């Protein structure tokens, strides 16, 4: 068990597979790192509008999207928005994380079960770290094509590249907290921001999504805290 915990700690901090996969993809298709929508956090997402447009489910990243890094409890300020998401999409919500639920780092599913108990959302078990891999396990979980699903995460090179490669609507959130992140991850974030900003300056645009041609229509102002 201690070896799995050590591998998880190292793997979550140094996603070498993700860096290599992103480098290969972005060398040819940099627009895949561009989200359809970018918001400060999930409180700015209009879940009802997305459902009205025909989306069937929502897939969340975990770290710095729903929880602080390496935490298994929900970041409290976004609790009301997550409840709104549940009220709209019901049980068609899942967590797809490079930590909890990944067989390599959570072989017995213990982290996934703790997270499920804390946030009330099923964690999708899977074998390959984002952005590599296909949407097969996610599509099996939801029972529909990935083009009918929404991918929400805080990392352009992992969550957004994975989502765009596999046909999701992609929503990028800002990280909830940088305090707990190691130095290397912070440097990768700077690289991600540089690449994304450079793409926009060069006139590149996100991939089109047929269900939401104008992605800004799903953005709202959150209620005051």
| Residue 37: DSSP 8-state | E
Closest CA to 124 of 91, 156, 154, 157: 91
Residue 4 has pLDDT above 60, yes or no: no
User: Is residue 5 situated within a structural domain?
Assistant: no
Q: Who has greater pLDDT, 83 or 23?
A: 83
| Residue 223: DSSP 8-state | P
The three-class DSSP label of residue 175 is coil
Mean pLDDT of 148-163: 96
Residue 124 has pLDDT above 90, yes or no: yes
Determine the pLDDT at residue 5. Answer: 47
| CATH number assigned to the domain comprising residue 122 | 3.40.50.1000
Which residue in this structure is represented by tokens 């209009």?
46
User: Is residue 21 situated within a structural domain?
Assistant: yes
User: Is residue 211 situated within a structural domain?
Assistant: no
Mean pLDDT of 55-75: 95
User: Is residue 1 situated within a structural domain?
Assistant: no
Residue 7 has pLDDT above 80, yes or no: no
Tens digit of each residue's pLDDT (9 = 90 or more) over 172-187: 999 999 887 888 888 8
CB-based contacts of 208, cutoff 8 Å, min separation 6: none
Confidence of residue 28 (pLDDT cuts 50, 70, 90): confident
Provide the token pair at 15. Answer: 């996603």
| Residue 53: DSSP 8-state | T
Residue 22 has pLDDT above 70, yes or no: no
Structural domain count, the chain: 1
pTM: 0.89
User: Is residue 113 situated within a structural domain?
Assistant: yes
Residue 21 has pLDDT above 60, yes or no: yes
User: Is residue 57 situated within a structural domain?
Assistant: yes
Mean pLDDT of 12-34: 69
Determine the pLDDT at residue 24. Answer: 66
Residue 131 has pLDDT above 70, yes or no: yes
User: Is residue 123 situated within a structural domain?
Assistant: yes
Taking all residues of the chain, what is their mean pLDDT, rounded to a whole number? 88
- Determine what percent of the chain is predicted with pLDDT higher than 90: 65
Domain range for 130: 13-202
**For residue 102, which phi and psi values (nearest 5 degrees)?**
-85, 120
Q: Who has greater pLDDT, 184 or 78?
A: 78
Determine the pLDDT at residue 6. Answer: 41
Confidence of residue 132 (pLDDT cuts 50, 70, 90): confident
Tens digit of each residue's pLDDT (9 = 90 or more) over 88-110: 999 999 999 988 899 988 899 99
Determine the pLDDT at residue 29. Answer: 81
User: Is residue 222 situated within a structural domain?
Assistant: no
Residue 195 has pLDDT above 50, yes or no: yes
């Amino acid at each position: 068990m201690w070896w799995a915990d050590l591998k998880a700690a190292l793997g979550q901090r140094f996603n070498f597979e993700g860096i290599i996969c992103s480098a290969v993809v972005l060398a040819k298709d940099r627009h895949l790192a561009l989200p359809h929508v970018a918001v400060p956090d999930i409180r700015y997402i209009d879940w009802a509008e997305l459902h009205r447009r025909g989306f069937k489910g929502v897939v969340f990243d975990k770290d710095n999207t729903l929880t602080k890094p390496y935490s298994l409890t929900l970041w409290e300020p976004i609790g009301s928005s997550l409840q709104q998401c549940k009220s709209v999409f019901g049980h068609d919500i899942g967590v797809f994380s490079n930590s909890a639920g990944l067989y390599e780092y959570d072989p017995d599913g213990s982290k996934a079960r703790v997270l499920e108990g804390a946030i009330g959302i099923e964690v999708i078990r899977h074998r390959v770290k984002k952005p590599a891999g296909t949407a097969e396990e996610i599509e099996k979980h939801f029972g529909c094509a990935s083009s009918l699903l929404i991918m929400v995460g805080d990392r352009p090179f992992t969550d957004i590249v994975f989502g765009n490669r596999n046909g999701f609507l992609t929503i990028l959130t800002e990280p909830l907290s940088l305090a707990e992140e190691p130095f290397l991850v912070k440097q990768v974030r700077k690289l991600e921001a540089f690449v994304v900003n450079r793409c926009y300056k060069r006139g590149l645009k996100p991939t089109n999504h047929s269900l939401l041609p104008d992605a800004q229509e799903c953005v709202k102002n959150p209620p005051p805290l």
